[in-house]
Structure 1
């Protein structure tokens, strides 16, 4: 098994944390040439991560995490019961489709210092949207008192935990007090995979 993608990428770190939970140590290719025809043949989006498992090629980080948990038969991370699984996947899909998109402008502006992302109005809207989505997750964690899908740690917490860390670590001009997210990060900090691949530097 081989994982392609630099560990600075939040999406690669999702997969690395999942591997840590599963006791997997895939071969790594840290610095792929994303423009190379050989890489684009693996992923036409020219993005990381890409997983190679024999002749099976898979991209999209959340899909890779699901595949690895299913491959290992880890129903604690990805339940087999339909409703429990749907709850985990709901929060994974929300992370990829909603939470991720909420931070894009602000992250590019404040962390990457992109010259193309310095419009004050768009930045303010981006920061507000990022906080609004963080508050949605905080309310959910207040309801469960533990993790996104309920009382147990699941794959949803792998992808959301990295997102919450990014929200807390980014140099935002203001940040609302969301104690549920602080407690959540404390719980996740008890897991070796999060310490290694989540709390390993900047956002």
Structure 2
């Protein structure tokens, strides 16, 4: 199994952090976007859109980060990162769809109209904060949902969000950022570069 990744982006980081945290037997190939590796004919056969991440498992190619996360979790059940019962799986799917369609878009909206985005984002923060009440992680135990959401919350634009009125989110982010996979995938600009 091989992951093609560009780890400085949240979608790539979520998958890489998951693999690294659980020490899963997945080869991680760091994509060279500067040299347009993602635009080669060979890579376009893996992902026709030329985006990362993408996963190759034998003759099976998969793109879309949340699909990759759940596939890897299913292929490595020893990680115990995703429930197998229908209700538990549906709950994971709900959170992954929420992350993809609501949370991510709300964070991205902050760059253009912070006041409007804050109004629209508040109900999502309130909901996530309530979900984390009495829990260390979104579903109680660490799993794919946490790996899917956190990279957006701690990315550059996510840092612009004021989480101070949501103490459960603040504590959760602090907990997750210290996990092995997140520490290993933290973006560090090259020497002499500025962030």
Q: Is residue 192 from structure 1 mapped to residue 180 from structure 2 by the alignment?
A: yes
Q: How far apart are the structure 2 equivalents of 1:8 and 1:75?
A: 24
Give, in angstroms, the shift of residue 194 of structure 1. 2.1
Q: How far apart are the structure 1 equivalents of 2:106 and 2:120?
A: 5
Unaligned runs of 5+ in 1: 110-116
Contact kept? 1:22, 1:72, Cα under 8 Å: no
Instruction: Tell me which of the two structures has the higher relative contact order, counting C-alpha pairs closer than 8 angstroms and 6 or more residues apart.
Output: 2
Q: How many residues in Structure 1 have an aligned counterpart in Structure 2? A: 186
Runs of 4+, deviation exceeding 6 Å: none
Give, in angstroms, the shift of residue 131 of structure 1. 4.0
TM-score, normalised via structure 1 length: 0.78
- Equivalent positions of 1:1-203 (< 5 A) are 1-24=1-24, 25-32=26-33, 33=36, 34-74=38-78, 76-106=80-110, 109=111, 117=112, 122-142=113-133, 144-149=134-139, 151-166=140-155, 170-172=159-161, 176-197=164-185, 199-200=186-187
Give, in angstroms, the shift of residue 171 of structure 1. 3.4
Secondary structure at 1:52 match in 2:
strand
Contact kept? 2:3, 2:29, Cα under 8 Å: yes
Secondary structure at 2:14 match in 1:
helix
Give, in angstroms, the shift of residue 39 of structure 1. 2.8
Secondary structure at 1:170 match in 2:
helix
Secondary structure at 1:23 match in 2:
coil
Secondary structure at 2:19 match in 1:
helix
Unaligned runs of 5+ in 2: 190-194
